[in-house]
Structure 1
Amino acid sequence: MNKCLLSLLFLFSSLASVHAQEYSFGLKGGINRAMGGELTGIPNGGFNGDTFQANSKIGFHGGVFFELRFGKFLVRPEAMYNTIETEFDFPTRPSVYAVDKLSIPLLVGYNIFGPVDIYAGPAYTNIINSTLEGNELNNSEVVAQNTPLSAHLGVKAGFGRFELDLRYDRTLSSEEEQDVDIINSQYGVNRANFSDSRLNQILLSLSFKLFDSKASGGRRSGRGCYF
């Protein structure tokens, strides 16, 4: 299934590029703030089954993009590596819930005015690593999602070779419970149920166009790159 999704993404981008009026590609990076994560203790000894909500922390992302424009419409495939963190405030010390993932969004957008575009689209997500600090089961690993799909929605504005991008990334996974066993002597929590490991996030990115067909229109052939 994963190979099929990536193949369709590549085929769609290839066909669209034949009819595109303008195109550009470049690099992007920025910060993200995660939301989500819920853990409930299993009554055991001195632990009373309290529920803990994860606190948001700042993470980072970076990647590449390729944008095709058809008048006021655009198609934009991307590939991004993303580090996400939240933190559970346990009785003795906090525990970091960390997720590293690779996202491949396929975005469709529209230019609403001037340099400002809005966009939305699905993304294929591959979880590279997901751990809960202090968890003794499976070498601290937890299941962060049960489907590889998420949805992106955002707005971006271009300023010459640069773009500023703000988006919301929402996982399409369903809630799935899993047991964890946390080191009680260090965190004040023992066995617990990770009742919701899903994470959504807001991303703020700065993009730089390495090549832009519009900007290179007045140059001689072969000199479209900025470097």
Structure 2
Amino acid sequence: MKKYLLGLLFVLAATLTGYSQTFSYGLKGGINYSMGGEIQGNNSTLSYWDGIAEGEGALGFHGGVFGQVNFGKFFIRPEIVYSSLTQEFAIPKRDENTEFNVQTFTIPVLLGYNIYGPLDIYAGPVYSNILESQIPDEELNDHIVVQNTPINAQIGAKVEFGRFGVDVRYEHSLSDAERQAVDFINSEYGGNQGGANKGWFNDSRLNQVIVSLIFKIGGPGLNEGRRRGRSCY
């Protein structure tokens, strides 16, 4: 992980040396809507839930930094982002949905193209490190183990005006599903009359729609809006 980050910073520094006039950087943050996941009950004694609960999308949040190097109408945009994802599962015999929470540290490296004026499109791979993944301890006897350091993919578009912009993208997991056993605390799920007990987390992969606000700290064209405002007087 550290070698990867150091390599990325080295490449970025070398790029800045040759293309300092076309480099911009700043902050980003916003919300994410997660999708995916599947939990299946195990009816081992003919009295417990044996159905399938599909993940129901829920909102999370993210924040991070970005850099962008332009090559004419093309650009490369590395980012470093922390994300908190939440997915809900409607398991019978429980008043509230079961929440699956995941915290990630990701490094997207995106290749983009300027369509026209402030509108850009982009796509690229995402290195993702899972910091934590869990269903609350009071509901589960064991921990959820999510495949670490998976490679995902993102595609999206952004518009920027001066220092500010809006970014909308979709992230898709490229990992294979990893089935694992789960042991629910039965008293939290309706007791022995049809409640959840043993089961399987068939698929813990999460895809997401990401909406970000962008704030540029440095780069070309940041004062264009101000200059246009002065010309009106």
The TM-score bracket by the shorter chain reads 0.7 to 0.9
Residue 122 of structure 2 aligns with an amino acid whose one-letter code is Y
Q: What is the number of residues matched between the two proteins?
A: 213
2:140 to 135, 139, 143: 135
TM-score, with length taken from structure 1 = 0.88
In structure 2, runs of 5+ residues without a counterpart are 190-194, 225-233
Superposition deviation, residue 48 in structure 1: 4.3
Superposition deviation, residue 135 in structure 1: 1.4
Preserved contact between residue 128 and residue 148 of structure 2 (Cα < 8 Å): no
CA deviation profile, 1:18-61 (whole Å, cap 9, x unmatched) = 33241111111000000011011111231242111011100000
Preserved contact between residue 162 and residue 221 of structure 2 (Cα < 8 Å): no
Whole-Å separation in 2 of the counterparts to 1:118 and 1:82 = 22
Preserved contact between residue 135 and residue 183 of structure 1 (Cα < 8 Å): yes
Preserved contact between residue 25 and residue 210 of structure 1 (Cα < 8 Å): yes
Matched with 2:227 is none
Matched with 1:51 is 52
Runs (4+) of structure 1 moved beyond 4 Å? none
Matched with 1:206 is 213
Matched with 1:148 is 150
Whole-Å separation in 2 of the counterparts to 1:208 and 1:36 = 30
Matched with 1:16 is 15
Matched with 2:115 is 112
Preserved contact between residue 34 and residue 202 of structure 1 (Cα < 8 Å): yes
Q: Do structure 1's residue 189 and structure 2's residue 196 form an aligned pair? A: yes
Residue 196 of structure 1 aligns with an amino acid whose one-letter code is D
Q: Percent identity?
A: 44
Matched with 1:70 is 71
Superposition deviation, residue 69 in structure 1: 1.1
Residue 33 of structure 2 aligns with an amino acid whose one-letter code is R
Matched with 1:224 is none
Matched with 2:182 is 180
Preserved contact between residue 147 and residue 172 of structure 1 (Cα < 8 Å): no
Larger radius of gyration: 2
Superposition deviation, residue 216 in structure 1: 6.5
Superposition deviation, residue 147 in structure 1: 4.2
Q: SS of 2:93's equivalent? A: coil
CA deviation profile, 1:100-120 (whole Å, cap 9, x unmatched) = 111111111000111011111
Preserved contact between residue 23 and residue 214 of structure 1 (Cα < 8 Å): no
CA deviation profile, 1:120-179 (whole Å, cap 9, x unmatched) = 111211111100231111xxx212225432111110010111110001111221111101
Preserved contact between residue 44 and residue 190 of structure 1 (Cα < 8 Å): no
Preserved contact between residue 9 and residue 106 of structure 1 (Cα < 8 Å): no
TM-score, with length taken from structure 2 = 0.86
Whole-Å separation in 2 of the counterparts to 1:63 and 1:168 = 17
CA deviation profile, 1:64-119 (whole Å, cap 9, x unmatched) = 11111111111111111100001111112221000011111111100011101111
Preserved contact between residue 163 and residue 206 of structure 1 (Cα < 8 Å): yes
Whole-Å separation in 1 of the counterparts to 2:124 and 2:86 = 24
RMSD, aligned CA: 1.7
In structure 1, runs of 5+ residues without a counterpart are 218-227
